[in-house]
Amino acid sequence: MTFLFTALFSALLQFHPLHVSFTSIDIHKEKGEAALSFKFYTEDFSLLFYHLYEKDIRPEMDRELTGDQVKIFDGYLKRAFILVSGQDTADLSYTRKDQNEEYIWLYYTISTLADLNKPVYLTNILMLDLYEDQTNLVIVTNGKNEKGYTFDYRNRREEIDIGQD
């Protein structure tokens, strides 16, 4: 069984050598909230949950996530993607998902943002449990301003400025 899993894992790596996730954070300062979208390669995302919890979770394109899937995804994202301002940790709330043959997009909101003029620290360890060469790209948009951040095995935490227009 171990040989079969190792062979399957090696085959996946050959056909999918780039490990990248994309996150977009759109700040809505007037509402005091943010909209987030996470984009993952679906097979990697499913493999992550098998690796972490030995659960075969395979989201389907034309079906909404089940309550159990949302619970598992929420738990993972709240552990692996953490926004902190002062003593406050932002609370992610699931809104929906989109999916095509290759990718899954998970949409979340943060309904209460702390003081936007204080530094915000983002810890992003998405998918690092699975791949050491994982790169996580984050784009923060606030009005007309956009800024990109890169997270990886060595760079897991950044101060991000979300309060500027």
pLDDT for 72-123, tens place per residue? 999 999 999 999 987 888 899 999 999 999 999 999 999 876 666 678 899 9
Number of neighbouring beta carbons within 10 Å of residue 121 = 14
Residue 40's DSSP bridge partners are 104
**Confidence band for 5, pLDDT divided at 50, 70 and 90:** very low
Pick the closest to residue 19 from 47, 49, 44, 50 (CA basis): 44
Beta strands 135-142; 145-151: pairing state: antiparallel
Number of neighbouring beta carbons within 10 Å of residue 57 = 17
The residue with greater pLDDT, 10 or 48, is: 48
Q: Give the start-to-end residue ranges of the domains of the chain.
A: 18-160
Give the Cα separation of 6 and 101 in Å (integer). 24
The pLDDT score that the predictor gives to residue 4 is: 46
pLDDT of 6 over the 60 cut: no
The pLDDT score that the predictor gives to residue 79 is: 96
Q: Model pTM?
A: 0.85
pLDDT for 13-45, tens place per residue? 445 568 999 999 998 888 878 999 999 999 999
Mean pLDDT over residues 35-62, rounded? 92
